[in-house]
Amino acid sequence: MFHEDKRVLFIDLNTEKLRIEKRPDLNEYLGGIGIAIKLFEENVHPQLPPLHESQPVVFAVGAITSIFPVMTKTVAVFRSPHTGELGESYAGGRLAFAMMDAGYDAIVLTGKSKKPTYISVRSDNVSFRDARALWGLPSTVIGRIIREREPGPGKRSIIRIGPAGENGVSYSSVCVDTYRHFGRLGLGAVLGSKNIKAMQVYGTTSIPIKDFPSYWKAYREIYKKCTDTELMQKYHDLGTSINIEPLNALGVLPTKNLKQAVFEHGDKISGEQFAECNLVRKMACVGCPVGCIHIGQFRREFDKAGHEYESISVSYDYELIFALGSYLGIKTTDEILELIDEVEELGMDAMSAGVVLGWATEALQKGLISEKETVIPLKFGDKENYIKALRYIAYQENDFYIALGKGAAHAASIYGGKDFAMQIAGNEMAGYHTGYGALIGMSCGARHSHLCNGGYSIDQGMKTLDIDLLVGKLFQEEIDRCMLNSLVMCLFARKVYDRETILMALNSVGYTFSSDDLTRVAEKIYATKIRVKRAMGFEQEKVEFPKRFFETPSLHGLLDETTAYEAQRKFNAMTNALMKKYDGPEDSGSKKDSAEEPAS
């Protein structure tokens, strides 16, 4: 592990055969998104649709996963059924730790199982289990069933899909160890198309540290930065839900399908309100001392005769409160938790689900659709009917809900209303209407996400608008996060892991990287992403912005459409310049440099 050859497990679902490759050529990509995007490029079929059985799914852990604080994430790379191009998603929980302890830097799935199946991955074996009895069950119960059926020692992680993934909803998610997810861009639909209900990974080996004194010195220093400073404090205290009130006060909290950016009931769904009314415990991913996962609880009546109630626990954070709260006009914490729970049960990305329902609500208001399509009246603030609508999407109630299950852009292409279908490059907007940084950041981000380059943060840090400076910051952040995601770290800790700290950690376990090496790795990863996106047909210059972004005031006032498109062109020019540096065939990274070892 670490500076030794990367070890990749390939699983062919068609034949239930596997092989393990040792890949010294992948070492220069560090790990995480670096090796994931390279393996994906080698195995993807750009001419075939996203849900074709030949398309690969790649899971990868980082260069220093699990041995340093907050190095907790696993990356999944796939062809997104939601956007048609690069799908890139991250999840915490126990998966990264289990994969590392099972001895795999990456797992590559190809093909399609002949029947519903769940996979059990160990260091010495891969088993294929009949999952026909599990098909149709919500993702929340699958983990318990598998744990009861297959008890065993070691570090275990279980990922699973819900009914939305089985039925091909293009923004369906994958639940990881109950409270974490591969959320955006539709990995759940990809696994569903492969007849994979779940995958469990057992880790039973230990990780050797050759120079323990150097490692322990680095570990203690990083641990203290995480626990004895204010860098991570807010994530433990209220978590990201702390952002609701400040962003609402700034007038940048998307509300009621972005018809406004201030929610009149923002104080009733704030992080403080959740903590006072619903918070019952805090949890952490394996290897993290922070504990940012906030679990809220609400009561649900299950029998009106006799006042029978049950307590339901769900995790919440800023993005979920925005998408299933302010965006839909939901004004109590209990109602938001109920909607989150429904999304969890069905297995959908919460952000896309909320934004899609926002479009549907406004389309009904404007008469573009009728209750013949929606079946029920959709109104902002109506929690009960939104729960029904989520079920209609997951179970494909009619043609309208089938269209809604393919996203806001697809639904608007059929029924109209594209000017207020709040998506960018096919992916529904995130919870920030801060300005050009958020808008261009999602447009030009490699996975069209606020987590690609943090444009919303750049907006808040700029007192006066300077488009060239903003685009430059976005581009540099995109590059930097490719490096951070090769480690793979939780991005909450990006202020903990500055360049000096990252190099200290890497060098303490045998990597001989310099700061220039990290820059080169980051640029090479980003160039590979862009090359893959373009091979699948993505054209940055054809991305269009819905008009609503220019009609609702942002942190910097009303945005100008011409300025936005000019910023997008400037970013694309910077990307083209980088691609010239890294275009063409590469000697390293070819599969001829790999060595296979026997596998059970």
Residues 85, 70: Cα–Cα separation, whole Å: 29
Q: What is the dihedral of CA 463, 469, 471, 475, to 10 degrees?
A: -110
Residues 490, 91: Cα–Cα separation, whole Å: 9
Q: First vs last Cα of the chain: how many Å apart?
A: 20
In the numeric block, the tokens 């203690």 are attached to 220
pLDDT at 589: 35
In the numeric block, the tokens 């990274």 are attached to 589
Q: Which two tokens stand for residue 147?
A: 């744990």
Which of 522 and 597 is assigned the larger pLDDT? Answer: 522
CB contact set of 302 (below 8 Å; sequence gap of 6+)? 308, 309, 310
Q: Which two tokens stand for residue 358?
A: 């926002």
pLDDT at 205: 85
pLDDT band at residue 557 using 50, 70 and 90 as cut-offs:
very high
Give the CA distances from residue 547 to residues 1, 145, 258, 341, 358, in Å, rounded to whole numbers and listed in that order: 50, 47, 11, 32, 15
CB contact set of 546 (below 8 Å; sequence gap of 6+)? 418, 419, 420, 421, 422, 423
Q: pLDDT tens, 157-199? A: 999 999 999 999 999 999 999 999 999 999 999 999 999 999 9
Name the residue among 346, 398, 11, 47 with its Cα closest to residue 192: 346
Residues 499, 511: Cα–Cα separation, whole Å: 14
In the numeric block, the tokens 């903990």 are attached to 496
Q: Do residues 545 and 564 lie in contact, with contact meaning Cβ atoms separated by under 8 Å?
A: yes
Q: pLDDT tens, 97-126? A: 999 999 999 999 999 999 999 999 998 889
pLDDT at 597: 52
CB atoms within 10 A of CB 550: 18
Q: Read off the pLDDT of each residue in 315-324 and give the average, rounded to a whole number.
A: 97
Q: State the average pLDDT for the chain.
A: 94
Burial classification of residue 541, based on how many CB atoms lie within 10 Å of its CB (0-12 exposed, 13-18 middle, 19 or more buried): exposed
Amino acid at 431: G
Q: pLDDT tens, 201-214? A: 998 888 889 899 99
Name the residue among 202, 180, 181 with its Cα closest to residue 100: 202
Q: What is the dihedral of CA 375, 380, 382, 383, to 10 degrees?
A: 100
Residues 100, 129: Cα–Cα separation, whole Å: 23
pLDDT at 155: 84
pTM recorded for the entire structure: 0.94
Residues 20, 443: Cα–Cα separation, whole Å: 37
Q: Is pLDDT of 91 > 80?
A: yes
CB contact set of 176 (below 8 Å; sequence gap of 6+)? 74, 91, 92, 93, 94, 95, 157, 158, 159, 182
Work out the percent of the chain whose per-residue pLDDT is above 70: 96
Q: pLDDT tens, 343-391? A: 999 999 999 999 999 999 999 999 999 999 999 999 999 999 999 999 9
* Lowest mean per-residue pLDDT among 205-214, 220-229, 232-241, 261-270: 205-214
Domains (range + CATH), the chain: 1-231+487-537+590-600 (3.60.9.10), 238-399 (1.10.569.10)
pLDDT at 529: 97
Q: Read off the pLDDT of each residue in 297-315 and give the average, rounded to a whole number.
A: 89
Which of 583 and 525 is assigned the larger pLDDT? Answer: 525
Residues 338, 343: Cα–Cα separation, whole Å: 9
Name the pairing type of β-strands 279-283 and 293-303: antiparallel
Q: Do residues 386 and 360 lie in contact, with contact meaning Cβ atoms separated by under 8 Å?
A: no
Amino acid at 350: A
* Lowest mean per-residue pLDDT among 47-51, 300-304, 443-447, 587-591: 587-591
Q: Indicate the helix (H) or strand (E) that contains 416.
A: none
